[in-house]
Amino acid sequence: MRKSVLTLSALLLISVFACTKNPFTGKQDFNIVSNDQIFPSAFQQYNEFLKENKVIKGTADAQRVVTVGQKIKAAAEKYLNSKGYQGYLNGYQWEYNLVDSKEVNAWCMPGGKIVVYSGILPITKDEAGLATVMGHEVAHALLNHGAQRMSAAQLQQLGAAGVSVAASGQSEQTQQILMQAYGLGSEVGGMLPFSRKHETEADEVGLTLMAIAGYNPDKAVEFWQRMEANSGGSAPPEFLSTHPSGATRIAHIKSLTSSAKAEAAKFGVKY
């Protein structure tokens, strides 16, 4: 009993003291992993990835990835400076690469290391579509979503340890049932909604960044509509997915375009 109480106390203390205010959302985020901890590993993994994959250089598409990425980075700096967060991007080592792959995807590692797969270019179609994708991925990095996921995973593991200790006096069958119930409950009721929340936040911030960068946020709706058409409706039910459904995402982005334009107008960008 004493061990379970100590475990629960540890969970509560971590939850209370590991929250920081996010400059983009204004909310308190749970994060126990610092940039100093995660950036070096992210940079190393990125370099290894580039060595193991075909990076496209010297083409119009490759240059477009760099151009859009630089504009999104500049938009992020403008936004953060306007909010009094000068120096927030210290430690970021921005890099933008186009990789030859049929995969319809893109990502940004903590610290600003970006990869766009060539397979997504037929869907992005133009700079605005690419800005939608890159703005979204950069937003994940700026919102520290990677560190937050690592923090949540550690908390989930600590919770599992607490359940194990609390159930230690039960039969082996009961212990297995309790652990399975915790695993399913923490995943469907905790980790998956947490991931969908991150996707929604990245959509919101990414839309603002692309608007400040000079790309009409209305184009983001068109991109996600093309993405939904490309998926062929094969996604799992939303409550079992790491991402919002296509319909949910599109409706939400439509509701945000006006506010993104208004934010861009503060920087002299009008649509």
**Active-site amino acid positions:** 137
Burial class (CB in 10 A: 0-12, 13-18, 19+), 91: middle
Given a contact cutoff of 8 angstroms between Cβ atoms, the answer to whether 158 and 171 are in contact is no
Report the C-alpha gap between 67 and 65 in whole angstroms. Answer: 6
- Output the DSSP codes for the chain: -HHHHHHHHHHHHHHHHSEEE-TTT-SEEE----HHHHHHHHHHHHHHHHHHS-EE-SSHHHHHHHHHHHHHHHHHHHHHHHTT-TTTTTT---EEEEE--S---EEEETTTEEEEEGGGHHHH-SHHHHHHHHHHHHHHHHTTHHHHHHHHHHHHHHHHHHHHHHTTTS-HHHHHHHHHHHHHHHIIIIIHHHHHHHHHHHHHHHHHHHHHTT--THHHHHHHHHHHHHHTT-PPPGGGSSS--HHHHHHHHHHHHHHHHHHHHTTT---
Name the token pair of 160: 């599992």
